């Protein structure tokens, strides 16, 4: 029988050693990344890279098999709009819809991600979260996006949060684990840094800003704090952890600012869908519109590509 609460915390890091974040400094550094000049050829390559890093997502109480099939069709055919474009990285759905996505995406090379563990609140017993995760993986999810227990974290119960992540990671088997911090509820950059450190030490393959249901969601300063945590963890352990800003990134210009920040903070090794994702479905059409603009000099409506 699955225990009702986590029980092991042997590798919990000393979070008192997590750096204190200079709010003014991190916000100033993040703002500088928006002022870089990107030449036309580089901009076109950046737009293609953004497209390849998008997780198309449908996470609604109104989701039906038909809606998921439509999202999967969009994922498979977005790159048909312009020759030579990559496909998106993944389609992200609830565990109950994973079997539908698996059938629709078979052979496409597009990953299937699922938001398990009581998304978006995380206010579920651990045994339910673990069963949720195992079902999603058994049905075909290669990536699990879990939410941490923010209430436990904010009251300082770091052992519980650490062990919960570790047990979900074990339940993932071969699937990759993205740990959602829900930074909009963590209040301070110091908390974001501590949660990032905790998640990585507990076994996260990716750390992710947000569920997209809380405002603010992803911001450049918050993402920078998380990227710097990833950098420091890499220096300490040699292990590369992925990053996924999610929510609020709705246009190509902003997405490219994130790529500049990624490149200058972590380097070329992270400039790949295996290490960086955007959780922003509405971003895809704007990226395609900007690519056509770069190639033809004329704007088209985003609806010409796909209308969800």
Q: Catalytic residue positions?
A: 145, 208, 244
Cα–Cα distance for residue pair 35/245, rounded to 1 Å:
20
With contact defined as beta carbons under 8 Å apart, do 68 and 100 qualify?
Answer: yes
With contact defined as beta carbons under 8 Å apart, do 219 and 251 qualify?
Answer: no
* Beta strands 206-208 and 90-93, pairing class: unpaired
User: How many CB atoms neighbour CB 93 within 10 A?
Assistant: 27
With contact defined as beta carbons under 8 Å apart, do 111 and 142 qualify?
Answer: yes
With contact defined as beta carbons under 8 Å apart, do 227 and 235 qualify?
Answer: no
Helix (H) or strand (E) holding 178: strand 176-180
Bond preceding residue 120 cis, omega within 30 of 0: yes
């Amino acid at each position: 029988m699955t225990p009702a609460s986590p029980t092991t915390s042997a590798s919990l890091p000393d979070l008192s050693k997590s750096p204190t974040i200079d709010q003014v400094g991190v916000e100033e550094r993040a703002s500088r990344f928006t002022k870089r000049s990107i030449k036309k050829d580089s901009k076109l390559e950046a737009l293609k890279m953004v497209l390849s890093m998008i997780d198309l997502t449908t996470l609604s109480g109104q989701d039906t098999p038909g809606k998921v099939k439509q999202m999967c069709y969009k994922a498979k055919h977005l790159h048909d709009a312009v020759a030579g474009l990559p496909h998106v990285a993944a389609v992200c759905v609830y565990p109950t819809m994973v079997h539908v996505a698996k059938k629709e995406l078979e052979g496409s090379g597009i990953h299937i991600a699922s938001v398990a563990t009581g998304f978006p609140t995380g206010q579920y017993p651990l045994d339910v979260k673990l069963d949720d995760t195992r079902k999603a993986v058994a049905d075909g999810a290669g990536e699990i996006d879990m939410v941490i227990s923010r209430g436990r974290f904010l009251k300082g119960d770091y052992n519980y949060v650490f062990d919960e992540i570790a047990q979900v990671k074990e339940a993932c088997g071969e699937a990759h684990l993205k740990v959602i911090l829900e930074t909009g509820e963590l209040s301070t950059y110091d908390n974001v840094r501590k949660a990032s450190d905790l998640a990585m030490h507990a076994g996260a393959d990716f750390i992710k800003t947000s569920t997209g249901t809380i405002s603010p969601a992803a911001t450049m300063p918050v993402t920078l704090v998380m990227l710097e945590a990833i950098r420091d963890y890499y220096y300490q352990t040699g292990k590369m952890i992925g990053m996924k800003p999610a929510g609020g990134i709705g246009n190509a210009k902003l997405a490219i600012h994130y790529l500049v920040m990624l490149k200058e903070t972590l380097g070329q090794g992270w400039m790949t869908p295996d290490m960086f994702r955007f959780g922003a479905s509405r971003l895809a059409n704007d990226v395609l519109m900007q690519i056509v603009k770069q190639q033809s000099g004329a704007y088209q409506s985003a609806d010409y590509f796909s209308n969800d």
